[in-house]
Amino acid sequence: MNTDSYNEGAVVHTPVFIDGHSVEIPILKILQQDGTLYECAELPDIDQELATKVYKTLAFHRVLDERMVASQRQGRLSFYIAALGEEAASVGGAAGLKDQDMIMTQYREQGALMFRGFSLEDFMNQMFSNAKDLGKGRQMPIHYGSKELNYMTISSPLGTQIPQATGYAYGQKLQGLDAVTICYFGEGAASEGDFHAGLNMAAVQEAPVIFFCRNNGYAISTPSDEQFKGNGIASRGVGYGIKTIRIDGNDILAVMKATQTARAYALKENAPVLIEAMSYRLGAHSTSDDPSGYRTREEEEQWQANDPILRMKNWMLAQNWWDETQDAEIYERYRKEVLAAVKVSEKIDKPHLDTLITDVYDVPPVLLQKQLEELKEHINKYPDAYPFTAGKF
């Protein structure tokens, strides 16, 4: 056994207990809310073109979330999850990576998929579970995925993507690819056993994976101080022997800088990195809850003043890379586009009945084919009860 990783401290002769707070964890901040940089702050690799793409993605994200929450309220959509106030974590993460890197997410990271170029139509078709949905209308709204864009299809069970990301990254390493995997999750999901499994295995198996924790203070209604008592999630990374950094998650430049640095490290050292991004979920968990039942308006207002999109806009204006006219123009354009796309996608048919049994296996087994035939006979007998599929197979 090799004990090199044991950092033995001073020998003591009376009991001395330590806790997670014995390790002071610095927090990376680059951009201030007024758009100026902190003194001596080191910028990520970013030019006007990339910055404009990042900012436009953030703006589009904000518009899409607003419109889809409204659509849900109007009864046009069954469910939605917005990322209000946390957009920088997902968009900045994707912007700090390369296209060949795999992105595995929880469910509040649609910004990463927008940055990769998932079209508005693709978002809509997934949310309306219609025949054009890449996922064939099988999952609730917001469970996106795209092989072409290296964005793993989302699954609802929390934290399951964490050990999977370790395995995915291990496969990338075995093939010698210039690629890593980034794995997003919330501070609540970090209580799942899969968090422990995934991080420990990544350290032991030396997988080039970036674990990106969005610490937004709440898991539905449960505040983080009822979720854990340690020094955030970052303190755990140290215990697993994983390089760890805590950042301001509302600071897009800090997110990009941390991700770019983590990517280079993970690839060079074949080792995982843990990023804990401190942020706040300004909206509800989903369209199915109302946060006024579990937190105060004052608390929300404090964080509204930390809006990550406004912060980036202030920086863009200060750089003379952006102006108010352009800003008003894109918001107006995105609102129109989203509304128009809703109207198109909600009218597209449901997927064909045959897709009920495809993809369970590579080829449907005999028994399943028989079940489908029986179903078709039944629908033919009672067509009025099955208006979406009757007469369409």
Partner 1 sequence: MAQMNLLHAINNALDIAMTDNERTVCFGEDVGHFGGVFRATSGLQEKFGKARCFNTPLVEQGIIGFANGLAAQGSVAVAEIQFADYIFPAFDQIVNEAAKFRYRSGNEFDVGKLTIRSPYGGGIAGGLYHSQSPEAYFAHTPGLKVVIPRNPYQAKGLLLASIRDDNPVIFFEPKRLYRASVGEVPAEDYQLPLGKAEVVQTGNDITLLAWGAQMEIIEKAAEKATGDGISCEIIDLRTILPWDIETVVNSVMKTGRLIVSQEAPLTAGFASEIAATIQQECFLHLESPIARVCGMDTPYPLALEKEYVSDHLKVYEAIKHSVNY
Interface positions with partner 1 (CB under 8 A) = 102, 104, 133-136, 138-139, 143, 145-147, 152-153, 155, 157, 160, 162-172, 174-175, 181, 193-194, 196-198, 200-201, 204-205, 358-362, 365-368
Determine contact, residues 232/246, Cβ cutoff 8 Å.
yes
Beta carbon nearer to partner 1, 44 or 186: 186
Between 145 and 291, name the residue whose CB sits nearer to partner 1. Answer: 145
Minimum CB separation of residue 200 from partner 1 in Å reads: 5
Minimum distance between the CB of residue 219 and partner 1, rounded to whole angstroms? Answer: 18
Q: Are 310 and 91 in contact (CB under 8 A)?
A: no
Identify the three-state secondary structure at position 219.
Answer: strand
**With respect to partner 1, which residue has the nearer C-beta, 169 or 379?**
169
CA distance 198 to 344: 41
- Nearest approach in angstroms of CB 334 to partner 1 is 26
**At 9, is the secondary structure helix, strand, or coil?**
coil
Rank residues 12 and 174 by Cβ distance to partner 1 and give the closer one.
174
- The Cα–Cα gap between 27 and 20 comes to 16
Alpha-carbon gap, residue 148 to 374, rounded angstroms:
36
* Cβ closest to partner 1, residue 20 vs residue 135: 135
The helix (run of H) or strand (run of E) holding residue 174 is: helix 161-174
- Least Å distance, CB 189 to partner 1, is 13
Q: Which is nearer to partner 1, 169 or 245 (CB)?
A: 169
Name the residue nearer to partner 1 (CB basis): 240 or 334. Answer: 240
* Rounded-to-integer distance, Cα 245 and Cα 262, Å: 9
* C-alpha triplet 186, 308, 87: angle, nearest 5°: 45
Q: Please answer whether residues 94 and 115 qualify as being in contact, where contact means their C-beta atoms are separated by less than 8 angstroms.
A: yes
C-alpha distances (whole Å) from 388 to each of 347, 348, 350, 352, 374 are: 12, 11, 7, 9, 17
The minimum distance between CB 78 and partner 1, in angstroms, equals 17
What is the nearest approach in angstroms of partner 1 to the Cβ of residue 298? Answer: 39
Strand ranges (E), 153-250: 181-186, 209-215, 218-219, 222-223, 243-248
| Structure-token pair, residue 306 | 């930390």
All residues at 6 or more sequence positions from 277 whose CB lies less than 8 Å from its CB, including other chains: 89, 212, 213, 214, 215, 246, 247, 248, 249, 255, 258
- 162, 211 Cβ separation under 8 angstroms: yes
Residue (128 or 315) nearer to partner 1, CB: 128
Nearest to partner 1 of 81, 152 (CB atom): 152
* Number of residues written out for the chain: 393
Shortest reach from residue 155's CB to partner 1, in Å: 6
Q: Which tokens in the block code for residue 354? A: 């045959």
Q: Which is nearer to partner 1, 41 or 140 (CB)?
A: 140
Q: H or E segment at 276?
A: strand 273-278
Min separation Cβ 126 and partner 1, Å: 9
Report the alpha-carbon distance of residue 114 to residue 121 in Å, rounded.
12
* Least distance from partner 1 to the Cβ atom of residue 227, Å: 20
- Shortest distance, CB of residue 338 to partner 1, whole angstroms? 23
